[in-house]
Amino acid sequence: MTSPDILTSAGLGLATGLALIVAIGAQNAFVLRQGIRGEHVGAIVAVCALSDAVLIAAGVLGTGALITAAPLAVVILRYIGAAFLVTYGIMAARRALRPQALTAADKPSGTANDGGAKRGLAAAVTTILALTWLNPHVYLDIALLGSIASAQGTSLQWWFGAGAMLGSILWFCSLGFGARLLRGFFARPASWRILDGGIAVTMAGLGVGLALGS
């Protein structure tokens, strides 16, 4: 095992990890919204990165093959995830349809029943955990990462995994902490209407797609 081999495997892991993570999805939409609002960004990013690290490690260890061999578990998880995504999509649609519930990221509303008010840390962490672990596609990604990692050989598979983990950290840090650059645009309720409307369509679409098995 030479340094070029290590760099090649780690680079392949980085590229593969980013290719699987960088997409419009429920998890990324939630991280983006939290980043724009400046709510519990560090905790959200940490949960996403740690979850991905656990999942990637599981893939490298070969858990992906076990998941592939248990299709019933994936089906059950698919319907649970679909129900959660549709529910979250409805919540986002309600925020988009209620202008009084939409506030600038640095000016959270103070009303008790305000859908745009700051959510607690526990609620935010619970939501991102559900969006991450109830997504059956992530387990298919585990199988894919595991197969690519195993192709690197025993001596290099963990370097591949390390590269994929690094890609996850870079992406979520960029998405969560970089979202603050958009706060000027989201200082208007109309901008929040657009964002939450897009999130609602994304979540509902993903939920329906999961329920239909796509």
- pLDDT tens readout for residues 116-170: 456 689 999 999 999 999 887 788 777 777 777 777 777 788 898 999 999 999 9
**pLDDT band at residue 82, thresholds of 50, 70 and 90?**
confident
Tokens 């979250």 identify what position?
88
How is residue 86 annotated by DSSP? Answer: H
Share the mean pLDDT of the chain: 78
Q: Are 116 and 108 in contact (CB under 8 A)?
A: yes
Residue 111 pLDDT grade (very low, low, confident, very high; cuts 50, 70, 90): very low
User: What is d(CA 146, CA 99) in angstroms, rounded to the nearest whole number?
Assistant: 46
